Amino acid sequence: MTKVTIYKNVKNECVGFKALGHAGYAEEGEDIVCAAISILTINTMNAIETFTDADVSLETDEEIGFIEYRIDKPTKETSLLLDTMVLGLQTMVDDENYAEYIDLLFEEV
């Protein structure tokens, strides 16, 4: 199971996320759940880098399936991009075919 924790500040703004673990839906290289989570998270990071001036921090470990991404000062643009990622992840959680392979949590930081 992949556990994704969305970081929110006291203003309820998304300020980052952590993803940990491999989904385990299928064999490595054929796991569509893991691929979907990767696409959503990596595309969000790429979009923030491309379309905003946000200062971010990133820590990864491919072997254990770990990404931690934080935004120093959220903006309207970074919040929209992160909220879009959360929408995609929540859609997966709500789908009975994939729900047991992804856990979505929210944490105030």
Model pLDDT for residues 8-33, shown as the tens digit of each residue: 999 999 999 999 999 999 998 899 99
1 is annotated as an active-site residue: no
Report the amino acid identity of residue 46. N
pTM value surpassing 0.75 = yes
CB 23 within 8 A of CB 102: yes
pLDDT score for 28: 85
Segment 23-64, tens digit of pLDDT: 999 998 899 999 999 999 999 999 999 999 999 999 999 889
Strands, E assignment, 1-109: 2-8, 14-20, 56-61, 66-71, 102-108
**Buried (b) or exposed (e) across 42-57, using 16+ Cβ within 10 A?**
eebbebbeeebebeee
Q: Which among 4, 19, 34, 92 is annotated as catalytic?
A: 34
Total number of domains constituting the chain = 1
62 is annotated as an active-site residue: no
Domain coverage including residue 10? 2-108
Going by C-alpha positions, the residue among 61, 65, 68 that lies closest to residue 15 is 68
Q: Which among 5, 13, 21, 22 is annotated as catalytic?
A: 22
Q: What is the CATH number of the domain that holds 39?
A: 3.30.70.1490
